[in-house]
Structure 1
Amino acid sequence: MAPSEAGAKVQPGVLLARGVCRMVAAHGLAGLTEMPLANGRRADVMAVDRTGEISIVEVKSSIEDFRADHKWPDYREFCDRLFFAVPETFPVELIPEDCGLILADGFGAEIVRPAPEHRLAAARRKAVTLRFAHLAALRLQRLVDPAITAEAAW
Structure 2
Amino acid sequence: MPGQRLARGVARFLTGLGHAPLTEFVPGGRLRVDVISISAKGEIWVIECKSSRADFTSDRKWQSYLAYCDRFFWAVGSDFPEELLPGDTGMIRADSWGAELIRMAPETRLAGARRTRLMREIARVSTRRLLALNDPMGVSGAAF
Q: TM-score range by the shorter chain?
A: over 0.9
Q: How does 1:46-57 map to 2 (within 5 A)?
A: 46-57=36-47
Q: How does 1:69-148 map to 2 (within 5 A)?
A: 69-147=59-137, 148=139
1:82-120 Cα offsets, whole Å, 9 max, x none, are: 000000100001000111000000000011000000000
When normalised by structure 1's length, the TM-score is 0.90
5+ residue gaps in structure 2?
none
In 2: Cα distance, 1:110 partner to 1:27 partner: 11
In the TM superposition, residue 151 of structure 1 has moved relative to its aligned partner by 4.1
Match of 1:149 among 132, 135, 140: 140
When normalised by structure 2's length, the TM-score is 0.96
Is 1:138–1:150's contact at 8 Å kept on the other side of the alignment? no
3-state secondary structure, aligned to 2:136? coil
In the TM superposition, residue 70 of structure 1 has moved relative to its aligned partner by 1.3
Residue 5 of structure 1 corresponds to: none
List 4+ stretches of structure 1 deviating above 2 A.
149-153
Match of 1:16 among 6, 11, 20: 6
Query: Percent identity of the aligned residues?
Result: 45
In 2: Cα distance, 1:44 partner to 1:61 partner: 12
In the TM superposition, residue 52 of structure 1 has moved relative to its aligned partner by 1.1
In the TM superposition, residue 150 of structure 1 has moved relative to its aligned partner by 3.8
In the TM superposition, residue 152 of structure 1 has moved relative to its aligned partner by 5.0
One-letter code aligned to 1:49: S
In the TM superposition, residue 40 of structure 1 has moved relative to its aligned partner by 2.0
Count of equivalent residues: 143
5+ residue gaps in structure 1?
1-10
